[in-house]
Chain A
Amino acid sequence: MAASIFTAVPRAPPVAVFKLTADFREDGDARKVNLGVGAYRTDEGQPWVLPVVKKVEQMIANNNSLNHEYLPILGLPEFRANASRIALGDDSPAIKENRIGSVQSLGGTGALRIGAEFLRRWYNGNNNTATPVYISAPSWENHNSVFVDAGFKDIRTYHYWDAAKRGLDLQGLLDDMEKAPEFSIFILHACAHNPTGTDPTPDQWKQIAAVMKRRFLFPFFDSAYQGFASGSLDKDAWAVRYFVSEGFELFCAQSFSKNFGLYNERVGNLTVVGKDADNVQRVLSQMEKIVRTTWSNPPSQGARIVATTLSSPQLFAEWYDNVKTMADRVLLMRSELRSRLESLGTPGTWNHITEQIGMFSFTGLNPKQVEYMIKEKHIYLMASGRINMCGLTTKNLDYVAKSIHEAVTKIQ
């Protein structure tokens, strides 16, 4: 028999964050803590299906008039409109002027991919494989893969995290924007930067927007934590809305995985803001073609849940409350962890733990210290020192704080 065509296919390395969880699962130590993958956990360390989601799912299950027919290629209309409204605000000038479009997508990842595929084909001419794409250093590791697989050949980083001062390297960021070729694409985290948890202040966003406008740089927002970061939808969308008010055309990839807890239903939305309705219409028509060859039309279950919730004032209020529950628990864990580290006298400063926002915190632990945490203390976190605050509970706070203290004092 002829040799297999796949004989030469090499074994690919596993995706780091999932390998971490796999290792965690196999660990038999009773003290183990998973501070890896980005999903919300209750104070009992359990996944949490939002009460409003349970309610709406029951409504959907009881509704015999619903079927499983195909959604339109761009998705469920009620979902698309509501999702974009959440990002841009009820009184958004762009919505009023009918110059926005939406593409229901498979999670935030899917929205990013559709946007990337479109940009590669249509942004600034008809072939953008050479257009530079700038991703923050560090960023969610899948950003790079999304743009590479979409066909971009020139992917660069922009300064973001200042390890020395454990904060935003604003000057480095602005310098990179000044030096970037005009028309470059910049991936911006709308809020709750992943993995650092460090966001620009409104004032800093204004500076960023000014440079981008002057240099014709394209803003592609990744908004995976709206509501989840501060507990306020409006606050977490401030940057996106500011850019819109400054007249930018932009993309915003939205995920409802975290703020609705709908991780496995793959609910996302790509919001497009353009100069006018005609431009947006043509953009959507081309995005439709891209969707058709990627997944044809999106899954209906998750979109129905979100659309039903967002279009009912009562359910919306319940959802808002559920989101605040999650955001508040995260904020509590941040302040509790910080105060313990400060009480222990752990070397270094720990105010960044409460100054950072969202699910993640860049602790500042180096790879050796991280290895110590995993191997000796059975506390699983990313090699970058990133921890998921949701993995902390009132029961494991002491153990985690003490372990960080040990790691920092024993290992350099």
Chain B
Amino acid sequence: SSWWSHVEMGPPDPILGVTEAFKRDTNSKKMNLGVGAYRDDNGKPYVLNCVRKAEAVIASKKMDKEYLPIGGLADFTRASAELALGENSEAFKSGRYVTVQGISGTGSLRIGANFLQRFFKSSRDVYLPKPSWGNHTPIFRDAGLQLQAYRYYDPKTCSLDFSGAMDDISKIPEKSIILLHACAHNPTGVDPRQEQWKEMAAMVKKRNLLVYFDMAYQGFASGDINRDAWAVRYFIEQGINVILSQSYAKNMGLYGERAGAFTVICSDAEEAKRVESQLKILIRPMYSNPPLNGARIASIILNTPDLRKEWLVEVKSMADRIISMRTQLVSNLKKEGSSHNWQHITDQIGMFCFTGLKPEQVERLIKEFSIYMTKDGRISVAGVTSGNVGYLAHAIHQVTK
């Protein structure tokens, strides 16, 4: 008999399941709107030009393959901090922060979660917005923390339930941990406006909460890296010492290279050194030290003025294409004669859109039109092209009229 007879089959990943079914479908009109990766207007993966250029630089330099330090590539972590905080940030200039390289967004979130479990003794509770990225919950749980929620998305309006959020946040026990999506909320695409962020900052300060920002889409949301980092920077300016996870999967298209960073804003540089030493103690028994390739590509881009300029243009063009698909989807729905209010599609931002479609309607889209999305009605706008937006609008109209 086997040691593993009692091991249960793990549940299938809901999002991967969508892609599996899509692959099996033979309909030539099929659309995969589950995928959380950018596609160009031909529906193809897009390797950024600045990435290709950075790779050419790397190839020409013939570098060795020696281990990185546990905390990662220094040029990368410094540039990452500067990108998030802004070059004029007092926290950045004073050095009262530590940034370590992480395995993209997930790995960075996990380092932070483990760090909190070990050193944040005030609370075991992490408050997530309702809904949040599906993987947030198991990440924090596996790290040994507990999950709570605050109201966020209003399904009636397909937008932010601001009063609900403020009400819930006002009741969070002091010194709990609250997770905020810096921009392009996943899965809803619903972000607070700047005045709303200001009120939220005042509230979390009043409740003395530890703020954990997840920023996976800087630049990718509005097309402007400073605008997308506004909330993070504002909170820090208000004296809130946040912790932050960054990903370069989407904004640099470095998905499989796993480039990311985890940052802790500290009281001073001395505290930052102590925190850094403990982060290394956490990282070493996980994977010893991080992979170089993605971080080096990102570092060369961020630290080479010409390549950085080119990157900003490219990330804006990705964001613009997404925004234009949103606009076209809404106008096509109007053309189809839909009487519903689809404004939320253009109000929402980033890769994802919470359409408001119900499970039965999603089922019909899959079965009758071969349009694949997750049951919650979330679509990846990245999967929409000028070639198929008309078909999508037609199908949505058919199941909602």
Q: State the A residues within 8 Å of B (CB).
A: 1-2, 4-15, 18, 37, 39, 46-47, 49, 53-54, 57-58, 61, 67-71, 73, 105-107, 109-110, 113, 122-126, 142, 145-146, 148-150, 218, 249, 257, 261-266, 274-276, 279-283, 285-286, 288-290, 292-302
Interface-located stretch among B63-71, B148-156, B344-352, B383-391: B63-71
Partner of B135, one of A37, A265, A296, A302: A296
CB–CB A299/B2 < 8 A? no
In the complex, A110→B107 CA distance in Å?
12
Q: Which residues of A contact B286 (CB under 8 A)?
A: 106, 109-110, 113, 149, 294
Q: List 23 A-B residue pairs with CB atoms under 8 Å apart, sorted by A's residue number.
A: A2-B208, A6-B267, A6-B271, A9-B274, A12-B278, A15-B280, A47-B66, A49-B64, A58-B59, A68-B45, A68-B253, A68-B254, A69-B255, A106-B291, A125-B6, A149-B282, A149-B285, A249-B4, A274-B2, A279-B4, A296-B107, A299-B256, A299-B258
Among residues of A, the one whose C-beta sits closest to the C-beta of B113 is A293
CB–CB A249/B255 < 8 A? no
Partner of A67, one of B45, B266, B288: B45
B306 at interface by CB-CB < 8 Å: no
Q: Which residues of A contact B139 (CB under 8 A)?
A: 293
Say how far A93's CB is from chain B's closest CB, in angstroms: 16
In the complex, A191→B267 CA distance in Å?
47
CB–CB B291/A264 < 8 A? yes
In the complex, A4→B96 CA distance in Å?
12
Among residues of A, the one whose C-beta sits closest to the C-beta of B119 is A9
B186 at interface by CB-CB < 8 Å: no
Contact string, B267-296, partner A, CB cutoff 8 A, digits 1/0? 100010111011011101111111111100
In the complex, A73→B104 CA distance in Å?
13
Q: Which residues of A contact B241 (CB under 8 A)?
A: 4
Partner of A263, one of B4, B9, B47, B67: B67
Say how far B80's CB is from chain A's closest CB, in angstroms: 17
CB–CB A9/B275 < 8 A? yes
Say how far A276's CB is from chain B's closest CB, in angstroms: 7
CB–CB A299/B294 < 8 A? yes
B138 at interface by CB-CB < 8 Å: yes
CB–CB A69/B37 < 8 A? yes
Q: Which residues of A contact B66 (CB under 8 A)?
A: 39, 47, 263-264
Partner of A107, one of B249, B278, B288: B288
Known A142-B285, A296-B106: A122·B274 in contact at CB below 8 Å = no
Say how far A220's CB is from chain B's closest CB, in angstroms: 12
B103 at interface by CB-CB < 8 Å: yes
Known A285-B10, A292-B138: A218·B3 in contact at CB below 8 Å = yes
What are the nearest 8 A-B pairs in CB distance? A106-B287, A285-B10, A145-B285, A296-B106, A300-B256, A275-B2, A295-B103, A47-B64
CB–CB A109/B288 < 8 A? yes
CB–CB B289/A264 < 8 A? yes
Known A264-B67, A279-B5, A293-B138: A70·B288 in contact at CB below 8 Å = no
Partner of B138, one of A124, A274, A285, A289: A289
CB–CB B274/A10 < 8 A? yes
In the complex, A293→B147 CA distance in Å?
15
Say how far B176's CB is from chain A's closest CB, in angstroms: 12
In the complex, A112→B254 CA distance in Å?
26
Say how far B265's CB is from chain A's closest CB, in angstroms: 10
In the complex, A6→B263 CA distance in Å?
14
Q: Which residues of B contact A126 (CB under 8 A)?
A: 6
B231 at interface by CB-CB < 8 Å: no
Known A12-B280, A148-B285: A295·B67 in contact at CB below 8 Å = no
CB–CB B55/A61 < 8 A? yes
Contact string, B93-111, partner A, CB cutoff 8 A, digits 1/0? 0000000000111110010
